[in-house]
Amino acid sequence: MIRAMGDIPISLSATQVLSKIKQACDKRKEAFKNINVRLVAVSKTKPKSAIIEAYNCGLRYFGENYVNELSEKSHDPEVIEKCPDIKWHFIGRVQKKQINKLLATRNLSIWETVDSQVVADLANGSLERNFAGKKVSVMVQVNTSDEPNKAGIEPENVNNLVEHIISKCPHLELVGLMTIGSINHSLGEGLNPDFERLEKCKQEVCRKFDFDADKFELSMGMSSDFETAILMGSSNVRVGSTIFGQREYKK
């Protein structure tokens, strides 16, 4: 049995997170009551044994930040055998030369970090050339905190990118918006202005392009702030260290 936070096993950590998600859902305002919430267990840098244990606890969605790591895990024979219904989310940056490898991910569920027309076009072209008949669900990543070192399109340009994907990228299915909020806001109390900004982007997109607001997704919230994110309309929370423990990076 793998330990997550200190002496807490992954099974208990996952159960606690799922319980907090339910409690947050119960507290949401009426406008968000019909929005289902998905837990994505962020397994970057974690061994496949941890993924298999979390899967055996009932988790099905797993997130990875690095293309090579995602490719290795998704094609691992033991993961394929023991986690047949696993679904992968890509939540990191991708180099142009890695797009083909990313799109070849086994059981790729959602690519959450499409943030430019160039990336959308490259992905659409790759699917057309190399993956006949395949369509990939994507989210538009938005830089809601205006941090220059952070990926994501500016909020004022979201509609332009959405329109481009809808009209020019038939092999991409747009399912929502994603953000990584400022750490200062995530650790603060009360409403998170980054989440509020993304929810306003969603309202504009749904109004302009006639998306169903209950089904058009918002991916926001991580270990430190997923409960707040749910209260503010998130349908997809990305929780890593709270489930798996602190990450260990190679030196």
Are 42 and 246 in contact, with CB atoms under 8 Å apart?
A: no
- CATH assignment of the domain containing 109: 3.20.20.10
- 13, 210 Cβ separation under 8 angstroms: no
pLDDT for 125 equals 97
Q: What's the rounded mean pLDDT across residues 104-111?
A: 98
169 lies in some domain? yes
2 found inside a domain: no
pLDDT in tens, 41-60: 999 999 999 999 999 999 99
251, pLDDT greater than 60: no
Is residue 18 within 8 A of residue 222, CB to CB? The reply is no
Domain of 133 in residue numbering reads as: 10-244
- pLDDT tens for each residue of 150-206: 999 999 999 999 999 999 999 999 999 999 987 776 555 668 999 999 999 999 999
Count of the separate structural domains present in the chain: 1
Residue 144 lies in a domain: yes
pLDDT value of position 185: 64
pTM for the structure as a whole: 0.94
Could you tell me the maximum CA-CA distance found in the chain, to the nearest angstrom?
Answer: 51
Residue 251 lies in a domain: no
- 5 occurs within a structural domain: no
Question: Per-residue pLDDT tens for 76-97?
Answer: 999 999 999 999 999 999 999 9
- 155 within domain boundaries: yes
Residue 55 falls inside a structural domain: yes
Q: How big is the chain by its Cα radius of gyration, in Å?
A: 18
On whether residue 227 sits in a domain, the answer given is yes
